[in-house]
Amino acid sequence: MSDVHSEELLAQVAALPALPGVYRYFDAQDALLYVGKALNLKRRVSSYFQKNHGGTRIGHMVSKIVRMETTVVRSEAEALLLENNLIKTLNPKFNILFRDDKSYPYLKITGTPGAHTRGDAPGQVFPRMAYYRGAVDKKHRYFGPYPSAWAVKETIQLLQKVFRLRTCEDTVFANRTRPCLLYQIKRCTGPCVDLISPEAYAADVSHAEALLRGETQELLQALEVRMMAHSDKLEFEQAAEVRNQIQALSRVLHQQSIETVDDKDVDILAVRVLGGRACVNLAMVRGGRHLGDRPYFPVHVEDAAAVFEEEGGEGADESVANPSRPARPVEALVLEAFIAQHYIGVPVPPLLVTSVPVDKTLLDALTEQSGLRVSAIHQPREQRRAWLDMAQKNADLQLARLLAEEGSQQARTRALAEALDLPPEDLDQLIIECFDISHTAGESTQASCVVFHHHKMQSSEYRRYKIEGITGGDDYAAMRQVLTRRYSKVVEAQREEGGIDFAAPDAEAGAPTRKGAARLPDLVLIDGGKGQVGVAREVFTALGLDLTRIVGVEKGEGRKVGLEELVFADGREKVYLGKDSAALMLVAQIRDEAHRFAITGMRAARAKVRVGGGQLEEIAGVGPKKRARLLQRFGGVRGVASASVEDLVTVDGISRELAEEIYKALR
Q: Which helix (H) or strand (E) holds 316?
A: helix 316-321
Residue 329: which residues within 8 A CB-CB, separation 6 or more?
A: 356
pLDDT of amino acid 257:
45
Residues 42-59, mean pLDDT to the nearest whole number: 80
pLDDT digits (tens, 9 = 90+) for 319-364: 444 444 456 788 999 999 999 888 887 889 999 999 999 988 889 8
Residues 478 and 497 in one domain: yes
Pairing of strands 432-440, 443-453: antiparallel
When mean pLDDT is compared across 219-233, 503-517, 552-566, 576-590, the lowest value belongs to 503-517
> The whole model's pTM is what?
0.64
- The residue among 257, 274, 289 that closes a domain is 257
Q: Are residues 219 and 209 in the same domain?
A: no
Sequence letter at residue 513: T
Q: What is the mean pLDDT of residues 248-270?
A: 66
Whether residue 443 is found in the same domain as residue 578: yes
Tens digits of residue pLDDT in 97-119: 887 656 788 899 987 666 555 55
17: domain CATH number is 3.40.1440.10
By mean pLDDT, which of 133-137, 158-162, 493-497, 513-517 is the weakest?
513-517
Same domain, residue pair 534 and 579: yes
- Same domain? For 86 and 108 the reply is no
DSSP letter string, 500-553: -------GGGT----TT-----SEEEESS-HHHHHHHHHHHHHHT--GGGEEEE
Contact 659, 649 (CB under 8 A): yes
End-to-end CA distance of the chain: 70
- On whether both 47 and 86 belong to a single domain, the answer is yes
Backbone angles phi, psi at 52, to 5 degrees: -100, 105
Residues 470 and 543 in one domain: yes
Exposure letters 229-255 (e unless 16+ CB within 10 A, then b)? ebeeeeeeebbebbbebbebbeebbee
Residue 128 per-residue DSSP state: B
| Element containing residue 377 per DSSP (H, E) | strand 375-377
Please indicate, yes or no, if residue 463 is contained in any of the structural domains.
yes
Together in a domain, 209 and 223: no
- For residues 75 and 44, membership in a common domain is answered with yes
Instruction: Give the torsion sign (CA, 317, 321, 323, 328).
Output: negative
Q: Which domain holds residue 651?
A: 612-665
Q: Based on the domain organization, do 446 and 307 belong to the same domain?
A: no
**Could you tell me how many helices (H) and strands (E) the chain has, helices first?**
24, 18
Give the 3-state secondary structure of residue 282.
strand
How far apart (Å, rounded) are the C-alpha atoms in residues 259 and 244?
Answer: 18
Cis peptide before 145 (omega within 30 of 0): yes
The CATH number assigned to the domain holding 550 equals 3.30.420.340
* Domain identity same for 157 and 305: no
Domain contains 152: yes
List the one residue out of 66, 83, 78 whose CA is nearest residue 29: 66
Residue 151's pLDDT band, with cuts at 50, 70 and 90, is confident
Least-confidence region, from 207-216, 232-241, 337-346, 371-380: 232-241
Would residue 417 count as lying in a domain?
no
Residue 376 has what pLDDT? 93
In a domain, residue 421? The reply is: no
Going by the DSSP 8-state scheme, the letter that residue 104 receives in this structure is P
Separation between Cα atoms, residue 110 and residue 130, nearest integer Å? 8
Number of domains in the chain: 6
> Which of helix, strand or coil describes residue 572?
coil
Element containing residue 35 per DSSP (H, E): strand 32-38
Q: Residue 616 maps to which CATH number?
A: 1.10.150.20
Final residue before a domain boundary, out of 572, 598, 624: 598
Find, among 507, 502, 512, the residue nearest to 461 by Cα.
Answer: 512
Residues 442 and 561 in one domain: yes
Give the pLDDT of residue 575.
Answer: 85
